[in-house]
Amino acid sequence: MPFIRRTWTAIEADEWTKEDWIAIILSPLSYVLLTLGVALSLLLLWYGYVMLIVGIILTAVLHWVIDPKLKAISAEYEKKQQDYLYELEEKVRWKHFTREEE
Amino acid sequence: MNVTFTLLDWLWVALFLLLMIGSGVLFYRLGKRSESDFFLAGRGLPWWLPASSVYATHTATDTPMWITGVIYQHGMAGIWYTFFSAWAAISSFVSTRIFRRSLAYTQAEWNVVRFTGLGSELLRGWMAGWQFFMNMFVLGWVGIAMGKVCEFLFGWPTWIGLISFSLVCAIYVLAAGYWGVVMADFQQGIIAFLVIMIVSFWGIFVAGGPTGIIDKLAALDMMERINPFAFTGWWSGSFPAAWFVTMLIIAVLGGFGMGTSIDWYVEAQRIQSAKSVRDASYSIWWGTLLGLVRNSVWAVSILAFFVLFPGMTETADYEMGWFRLGFDYLPAGMLGFFFAAILAIHLSTISSHLNLGALYATRDLYQHYVNPKADEKKLVQVGRISTVILLLGSFFYGLMMEDITSWLIFALWIMAAGIWLPNILQVIWWRFNAWGYLSAWIANLGFSWLVVWILPELGVIPELLDYQQFWLLMLLGALVFIPVTYLTKPESMDHLVHYYVMSRPIGWWGPVRREAERRGLITPAGDLAGLAAELSRPDDAKRK
């Protein structure tokens, strides 16, 4: 099995896996590098360009890693969403609480 | 400073206002269909629409003033003050996903999805009332900032800028609800981003370009102003590294929780309006990134302003720096376009908070407590009435803002400090219950008063820096909510299992997961490994 999985069944995608943790680590790094990279590149500083390029690469890697999983989660969840919405309306009503307490 | 507009300038402004009101008219029919349409655009938006709304909403009239203030004061290191929005980095792939799957309309409603019983109801009622008030306050805050801009530009009394443009905004929010908000935000986001770039690059050009800025900083012997890590030491000075580390922890790790940033409550609406979990994640991630990149461009343009006007000491003078770059240096005929962009910045924030405050009033207060059987038509009607109440309340707050600002900044701060950890625990720890969470809110209220005001005043403790207050309040809060959590019952297992299967939260949910597996509601982890191995085998091996 490859280190990064890019094909998911709906059941597997529901689990928290290393692909999620890679996204969790890469995402703040991308934000830091892109924020500083843009500002320092505008000042024509060489390390600004380096930060910007690394930030863009990390952003691409982040999406490459997490996108197949998000697609699988979304596709499966959308099938159940209508039922869940119906349940939500039942669950969040005040009468639910009073009935339970009684 | 008084600006004189030409006919062309006023044409830009009129054209822009017509465009915004047009959004309300165009989407009127969609907005009135149901509660879900009026407040969440029917949960059907592609990621780029809520993303543009995230960006536009968090570009308010006071944002350039605030960013100008911190960059003028601290140089490039001041950019970290804007980095609090980076909670979205982790949240986009963790709490956003979990919240979208919960389907809760608001963060207040989420309390009864995650918790149960009287504690959850108390949390929902408290949060709904507090958010209704907070949205009114933000509307007043942003409205009075617009009043000050109009006073600065045209010499108008502040109430004219406060009231007139919010009234225009209310037309399309009342007509089309969130459909109007998000469609107008998309246009406003584009206009605002373009103009921010134009004015900022124009300012950089006027200051002599990037090399001109650096040369002038060198001549002023202030080269440390381009260093984003120019701290005043580890623990001391006006900008210590300990503050930076605290800010990174609050912002980045806060993404595991919900409500760790005041912005979360606005984004929660955008998350639920996205058409899928994936769209929700990307809307938050890309909308926030656009805001961070905007801040970077702003920061460089403020350095340009600094070298043009060094040595200002009064905050009220230098915080208008970015506006001055536009109004002092843009050519005639472009001033109206710039002002239209300021209006775009302003209206996007006003419209979002009008609709969000009305959502809490309608869904969490009226529908929940007053009329649970209200039909869709009635709910949309109540949404509109709530919008009007918020608008009128915001005028009242705006006009008395000078007197209450310090109180309300304190109110914002207390929710950020002692509630930060509970906001994460509610997502990642199954045993954390409604009573623990409620006790954290109450304890934090008392501790904040003590730590920030009363004990320093009595000389019991010294006046602490804000990052020190954060850690102390977090520790004191934990001394209350952890015992309360363990001394009260866990939430009912039925409720937790249902929540777990629907939302699939991250973290310590072992007992709930095992129960869900025992009931056959989810596949056991061991079986998944077998399934994955089976799927990865070549087809001919499977046949054998």
Distance CA B527, CA B89 (A): 32
Running DSSP on this structure, what letter comes out for residue B225? G
Please classify residue B159 by burial: count the beta carbons closer than 10 Å to its beta carbon, then call 0-12 exposed, 13-18 middle and 19+ buried.
middle
Picking from A12, A42, A95, the nearest residue to B532 by CB comes out as: A12
Identify the band that residue B385 occupies on the pLDDT scale cut at 50, 70 and 90: very high
Using the structure block, give the residue that is written with the tokens 């993404």: B255
Residues of A in contact with B276 (CB under 8 A): 74, 77-78
Report which of B309, B351, B356 is spatially closest to residue B329, judged by C-alpha positions: B309
Residue B483 binned pLDDT confidence (cut-offs 50, 70, 90)? very high
Contact B528 A81 (CB under 8 A): no
CA–CA separation, B215 and B213 (whole Å)? 6
* End-to-end CA, chain A: 53
B228-232, B394-398, B401-405: which range is least confident on average? B401-405
Residue of chain A nearest B303, judged by CA positions: A43
Tens of pLDDT along B38-69?
999 999 999 999 999 999 988 888 888 889 99
What mean pLDDT do residues A60-84 have?
A: 90
Query: In angstroms, what separates the C-alpha of B461 from chain A's closest C-alpha?
Result: 36
pLDDT at B221: 94
pLDDT digits (tens, 9 = 90+) for B93-107: 999 999 999 999 999
Instruction: Encode pLDDT of B493-543 as tens digits.
Output: 999 999 999 999 999 999 999 999 999 998 886 565 555 555 444 444 444
Instruction: Flag if B93 and A40 touch (Cβ within 8 Å).
Output: no
Provide the residue ranges of all domains of chain A, joining segments of one domain with +. 16-101
Q: Which pLDDT does position A78 carry in this prediction?
A: 81
Q: Across the interface, do B279 and A74 touch by the CB < 8 Å criterion?
A: yes
pLDDT of residue A94: 63
- Quick: pLDDT tens for B239-267: 899 999 999 999 999 999 999 988 999 99
Shortest Cα distance, chain B CAs vs residue A48, angstroms:
11
Test B285 with A35 for CB contact under 8 angstroms.
Answer: no
Residue B233 has pLDDT above 90, yes or no: no
Residues of chain B above pLDDT 70, percent = 93
H or E segment at A41?
Answer: helix A18-42
Which chain B positions have a beta carbon within 8 Å of A39's beta carbon?
76, 79, 228, 296-297, 299-300
Average pLDDT of span B182-191: 91
Which of A86, A101, A94 has its CA nearest to residue B368? A94
pLDDT at residue A66 is higher than 70 = yes
Helix/strand/coil for B429? strand
Average pLDDT over residues B98-119: 94
Report pLDDT for B411: 62
- The CATH number of B7-399 is which of 1.10.645.10, 1.20.1730.10, 2.40.50.140, 1.20.1250.20? 1.20.1730.10
- Using CB atoms, which residue from B83, B281, B300 is nearest to A42? B300
Cβ pair B416, B250 in contact under 8 A:
yes
Predicted confidence (pLDDT) per residue in B281-316, tens digit: 999 999 999 999 999 999 999 999 999 999 888 887
Preferred mutation among B43, B98, B278 to probe A, highest tally of A CBs within 10 A? B278
**CB-based contact A74 B79, cutoff 8 Å:** no
Q: Which residue of A has its CA nearest to B229?
A: A36
Size of interface A-B (CB pairs under 8 A): 139
CB contacts, 8 Å: B523 with chain A: 11
Domain boundaries, chain B: 7-399, 403-491
Choose the mutation target among B225, B285, B307 for the interface with A, i.e. most A CBs under 10 Å: B285
pLDDT greater than 80 at residue B412:
no
Reduced to 3 states (helix: H, G, I; strand: E, B; else coil), residue A43 is coil
Average pLDDT over chain A reads 88
CA B334 and chain centroid, separation? 30
Residues B322-357 pLDDT 10s: 999 988 888 877 888 888 888 988 998 999 999 999
Q: Are B360 and B266 in contact (CB under 8 A)?
A: no
DSSP 3-state assignment of B409?
helix
The single residue listed with the structure tokens 């200002």 is: B312
